[in-house]
Amino acid sequence: MASTSGTSISKTITEKLSKDIGNKPPQFNGEWLKFKNFLFKLTIYLLHEDTLDNNAKKILFTIGYLTGEAALWSETWITGLPLNSNKKTNLGMYKDFLTAF
């Protein structure tokens, strides 16, 4: 259930930002030959997008572009995260998310 909520939030953030900015990164389905290109375009996009100003927003935005096997991985990743004191998922640092990915 946590993964559905996280995916839902990330899609909302992704849809809102896509209207405001052009040249969004491509979706990534887990095909590792395309990972380097996805990561490059994602990084360029994040460097120029001021509204993605914290780790959680960057992680959820990135998850919004994952499909197929990559999306399945993100669901497993989110459900394995600890809850903070408010019983919400602690997404942690963006760099740690990328390392895990």
pTM above 0.85, yes or no: no
pLDDT of residue 70: 95
pLDDT of residue 13: 58
Summarize pLDDT for 47-61 with one digit per residue, the tens. Answer: 888 889 999 999 999
CB within 8 Å of 60: residues ≥ 6 apart:
6, 9, 10, 13, 91
- Phi, then psi, of 19 in degrees rounded to 5: -75, -30
Percent of the chain with pLDDT over 90: 50
- Return mean pLDDT, the chain: 82
- According to DSSP, the residues that pair with 89 across neighbouring strands are 83
Summarize pLDDT for 65-90 with one digit per residue, the tens. Answer: 999 999 999 999 988 888 777 778 88
> How far out from the chain centre does Cα 13 lie?
10
Q: Does 33 score more than 70 pLDDT?
A: yes
